[in-house]
Amino acid sequence: MGMNRTLCAIFVTFLFLISTTLRSFAENTEKAPSAPRIGFRLADNQAFEGSREARIPGNETPIFIESTNRLDETAIAKAAIISTEQGRPAIALFFGEEGKQKLEKLTSENVGKRLAILLDNELVEAPKIVGTIGQRAVMHGSFSIQQAVEITHALNQTSLFSPTTTPTIPLDSFQPLFNGEDLTGWTNVNTDDDTWFVKDGLLICKGLPIGVMRSNQQYENFILHIEWRHMKPGGNSGVFVWSEGTVPAGRQLPKGMEVQMLELDWINQHPRGGNPNHVGYVSGELFGAGGLNATPDNPRGRRSMSKELRCNGAGEWNSYDVVCVDGTVNLSINGIFVNSIRGSDVRRGYLCLESEGSEIHFRNIQILELPGGLLSSNQQATVVEE
């Protein structure tokens, strides 16, 4: 019987991962404002017949581009926001089959020249063609994260990164961690009595003072579904998994694995060297906090950043599915798995919701516990006696 229950739980987890992946290309069908015009043209450092002079923003060196597009936005199947190596937003463009064939032909026949990418007829970049380009191209530029979101949604003909309202597995497989009425099941660790409260079925955090509220129960292997929205630009919060249930003296936050929840404008409000901060912060970074050690799969230092930046901005809901098994955390943001971290040296502990500066709302917090693993005593957080 125990083996059957274990196999059943593993099968349910497998179905969850598969079904979430299958919906990875499903987007909200609500139409956004008219899509920006994307153009791909041949270019060179020297003028040629029919070319015009243009400049990449921030670069005074002239580039000469042809007058008509070889491909346009109709060739694009999907757009996604990613990060450059410098931590600035960029837009990855995935081409449909016809667009792929045209791009392959264009680039294979013009090695050594440039491929100019234009947005609404303005030159964005013109990388040198060093070989055949097929299914994917990346558009860099001087746009902000907010502009990158707007462009991406327009190209995808959506208005939001579709936040799922329920986990893929039927809700009767999950246990609610928030009843929509009060804070039953949660304990305030180091914030004020009125920092956390319930209104209109939502769990609301004022954001001050900085600290956490923890679950009354510890968890080891599980799937956590949680939905959240920041109410002000630049808001900061997160959920800790495998966390300690207390906070050491002189600190505000506990030891644990943090699943970051930052509003898009945070990188503008906390600049670095006079420029916006690293864009990786604002889409579900995973990292060990307070001394917890783990190995990032998408490294940004000790942190693991998302492969795609899929969080919505202030006032809009986001959906996280967090799969935590044997020291590995996989994170799905609004329906797509985009981040992971592994080898956590703590693998059983409390869940903590974070208060860190501004108002944030939570809803639909659900958990599905999975079979335990080979847990040693030093991989478990200290149990807090009630």
CATH number for the domain harbouring residue 216: 2.60.120.560
Q: Is the pLDDT of residue 310 over 90?
A: yes
Quick check: is 12 in a domain?
no
Q: What is the mean pLDDT of residues 97-118?
A: 93
Question: Which has the minimum average pLDDT: 4-18, 95-109, 181-195, 275-289?
Answer: 4-18
User: Domain ends where: 130, 156, 182?
Assistant: 156
100 and 174 share one domain: no
DSSP symbol at 348: B
The single residue listed with the structure tokens 């609610």 is 176
Q: What is the structure's pLDDT at 137?
A: 87
Q: What is the structure's pLDDT at 32?
A: 44
- SS3 of the chain: helix, strand, coil, percent, to 5: 15, 40, 45
- Tell me the pTM: 0.85
**Closest of 159, 98, 108, 162 to residue 130, by C-alpha:** 108
**C-alpha to C-alpha distance for 266 and 94, rounded to whole angstroms:** 28
Quick check: is 303 in a domain?
yes
Q: What is the mean pLDDT of residues 288-304?
A: 97
210 and 337 share one domain: yes
Q: What is the structure's pLDDT at 37?
A: 87
201 and 328 share one domain: yes
Quick check: is 269 in a domain?
yes
Amino acid type, 357: G
Q: What is the pLDDT of residues 81-94, one digit of tens each?
A: 999 999 999 999 99
**C-alpha to C-alpha distance for 331 and 297, rounded to whole angstroms:** 12
Q: What is the pLDDT of residues 236-251, one digit of tens each?
A: 999 999 999 999 999 9
Q: What is the pLDDT of residues 15-61, one digit of tens each?
A: 344 344 334 333 333 444 567 788 999 999 999 999 999 998 888 89
Quick check: is 22 in a domain?
no
Quick check: is 93 in a domain?
yes
The model's confidence at residue 140, banded by pLDDT at 50, 70 and 90, is: confident
More confident residue, 340 or 373: 340
Q: What is the pLDDT of residues 251-280, one digit of tens each?
A: 999 999 999 999 999 999 999 999 999 999
Question: Which has the minimum average pLDDT: 140-154, 162-176, 204-218, 362-376?
Answer: 162-176
95 and 184 share one domain: no
134 and 184 share one domain: no
More confident residue, 24 or 170: 170
The strand pair at 336-342 and 295-296 is best described as antiparallel
151 and 196 share one domain: no
Q: What is the structure's pLDDT at 169?
A: 66
Q: In what order do the strands lie in the sheet with 256-262?
A: 186-188, 211-219, 349-355, 236-243, 256-262, 286-289, 303-304, 299-300
The residues, any chain, with a CB within 8 Å of residue 78's CB and separated by 6 or more, are 25, 93, 94, 156
**Closest of 290, 380, 284 to residue 341, by C-alpha:** 284
Q: What angle do CA 300, 304, 307 make, to 5 degrees?
A: 95
DSSP symbol at 149: H
Q: What is the structure's pLDDT at 168?
A: 66
Domain with 126, as residue range(s), is 38-156
**C-alpha to C-alpha distance for 325 and 345, rounded to whole angstroms:** 12
140 and 92 share one domain: yes
Q: Is the pLDDT of residue 1 over 60?
A: no
Quick check: is 315 in a domain?
yes
Quick check: is 126 in a domain?
yes
**Closest of 215, 221, 262 to residue 243, by C-alpha:** 215
Q: How many domains does the chain have?
A: 2
Q: What is the structure's pLDDT at 16?
A: 44
Q: What is the structure's pLDDT at 173?
A: 84
Q: Strands, DSSP E only, in 235-284?
A: 236-243, 256-262
The model's confidence at residue 163, banded by pLDDT at 50, 70 and 90, is: confident
Q: Which secondary structure element, helix H or strand E, spans residue 137, and what is its range?
A: strand 136-139
**C-alpha to C-alpha distance for 303 and 47, rounded to whole angstroms:** 46
127 and 182 share one domain: no
**Closest of 277, 327, 336 to residue 306, by C-alpha:** 336
**C-alpha to C-alpha distance for 346 and 14, rounded to whole angstroms:** 24
The single residue listed with the structure tokens 């792929």 is 100
176 and 192 share one domain: yes
User: Domain ends where: 104, 122, 156?
Assistant: 156
Average pLDDT along the chain: 89
Q: Is 268 buried (19+), middle (13-18) or exposed (0-12) by CB count in 10 A? A: middle
Q: What is the structure's pLDDT at 58?
A: 81
Give me the half-sphere count of Cα atoms (radius 13 Å) on the Cβ side of residue 279: 24
Q: What angle do CA 251, 276, 79 make, to 5 degrees?
A: 110
User: Domain ends where: 156, 175, 191?
Assistant: 156
> Which CATH number goes with the domain that contains 80?
3.30.1360.200
Q: What is the structure's pLDDT at 36?
A: 79
123 and 177 share one domain: no
Q: What is the pLDDT of residues 333-363, one digit of tens each?
A: 999 999 999 999 999 999 999 999 999 999 9
148 and 170 share one domain: no
Quick check: is 1 in a domain?
no
**Closest of 289, 307, 284 to residue 297, by C-alpha:** 307
Q: What is the mean pLDDT of residues 146-152?
A: 92
112 and 173 share one domain: no
User: pLDDT exceeding 90 applies to what percent of the chain?
Assistant: 75
**C-alpha to C-alpha distance for 322 and 44, rounded to whole angstroms:** 47
**C-alpha to C-alpha distance for 50 and 94, rounded to whole angstroms:** 29
**C-alpha to C-alpha distance for 323 and 330, rounded to whole angstroms:** 5
Q: What is the mean pLDDT of residues 282-305?
A: 97
